[in-house]
A and B are shown apart, each in its own frame.
Chain A
Amino acid sequence: MHDVKTDAALDSAWSGGASPFAMGSKKLGMWLFIVSDTLTFSALLITYTYSRITNPDWPKPFPMNPAIIFSTTMTVVLLASSLTMVMAVMAAQRNDRKKTVLWMIATMAGGLTFMALHLREWFHLFEEGATITHNPWGTPLFGAVFFGVTGMHMTHVLIGVIYLGIVATGYGRGKFSAEDVEVNGLYWHFVDLVWMFVFPLVYLMSVKY
């Protein structure tokens, strides 16, 4: 590593004194969290697929009405909340604090609606006799996987709503920056993204014809 190379090297983004990805540390940190959380969810979904391969009597209990209609609605609601989050981030970048907070409240409302619908769906399943350990249709692992994976996802949604609440309040009062809103947005979109895999794998692959 001699000084001959020095000057050319110093111009590159990786030569120190700069963030090479041109993003703040918080944003990079959130991306890294997302990478690791993706692996957690992948492990869960791979466990689901593994269990399904090894249990040929896997039930297919979801009829169009109510399960698929419900879950499709949930998907659209979650996607909509992602869109409102995008709007919030864009507003924050224009430094429009009021609009940002409003869009974030809309996002929280989307998240809460998603959770309400999801819990409604859960209770419906409980009524039919499906719990984490038992279900009337087939291998007991179905309930374990279903409630395990969706429960984990719902925990993320809940954390996301709380996180949104904190950032919205803080941003409204001028304590947080636009970057904080953007980082919060990354988390929220990630929760949405995970659902894009949970929905087809857990629901659509178990449709009752």
Chain B
Amino acid sequence: MNDHAHAEEAHAGASVGTNLAIWIGLVAITGLEVFLAYEELQPTLMLTILIGLSLVKAAMIMSYFMHLKFERFSLVLWLVPAMIFCIAMMMIFFFTEAYWGMGLRPH
């Protein structure tokens, strides 16, 4: 009975065409990633580019496929930062620690 209430409000999503375009974009970025992998870039640079592209892909999936673009904006404001903050804290300190630990390896 409440399907309708939700359906009216929340389902002004993207059209089939837009979704298809997003999909083609995702495949294209994947292709770009594979291409880059064979460019023998310096590892850190390559990691940065790959992660950057993956984040773009993730944003595309979340916004269109997972509909986040069409939900109330406050959801994005509320959920995503908490998660990203935690991941960022882990990355900052874990990677610092990994490099620090390298310096303490037995000779």
Q: 1/0 contact trace for B1-35 toward A, CB 8 Å? A: 01100110111010010011001001100110110
Asked whether A68 and B65 contact (CB < 8 A) given A21-B71, A22-B9, A204-B50, the answer is: no
Q: Top 9 nearest A-B pairs by Cβ distance?
A: A204-B37, A200-B50, A53-B98, A189-B65, A196-B57, A83-B23, A207-B37, A50-B98, A21-B75
Q: Is the CB of A196 within 8 A of B3?
A: no
**CB-defined A-B contacts under 8 Å, sample of 20:** A13-B72, A13-B74, A21-B71, A22-B71, A31-B75, A31-B79, A49-B95, A50-B94, A54-B98, A83-B19, A83-B23, A83-B65, A87-B16, A90-B19, A177-B3, A186-B66, A186-B67, A199-B33, A200-B51, A204-B33
B residues in contact with A199, CB < 8 Å:
30, 33
Q: Are A79 and B26 interface neighbours, CB within 8 A?
A: yes
What is the size, in residues, of chain B's interface with A at 8 Å between Cβ atoms?
55
Q: Are A204 and B90 in contact (CB under 8 A)?
A: no
Q: Which residue of A23, A31, A76, A193 contacts B58 across the interface (Cβ within 8 Å)?
A: A193
Does A75 make an interface contact (CB < 8 A)? Answer: yes
The CA-CA distance from A79 to B61 in the complex, in Å, is 9
Is B37 within 8 A of A68, CB to CB? yes
Question: With the chains together, A199 CA to B67 CA distance in Å?
Answer: 23
Q: Which residues of A contact B (CB under 8 A)?
A: 13, 20-24, 31-32, 35, 38-39, 42-43, 46, 49-50, 53-54, 64, 68, 72, 75-76, 79-80, 82-83, 85-87, 90, 93, 177-179, 182, 185-186, 189-190, 192-193, 196-197, 199-201, 203-205, 207, 209
Residues of B that sit less than 8 Å from A by CB: 2-3, 6-7, 9-11, 13, 16, 19-20, 23, 26-27, 30-31, 33-34, 36-38, 40, 43, 46-47, 50-51, 53-54, 57-58, 61-62, 64-67, 71-72, 74-75, 79, 82-83, 86-87, 90-91, 94-95, 97-99, 101-102
Residues in A neighbouring B67, C-beta threshold 8 A? 182, 186
Q: Name the CB-closest residue of A to B87.
A: A42
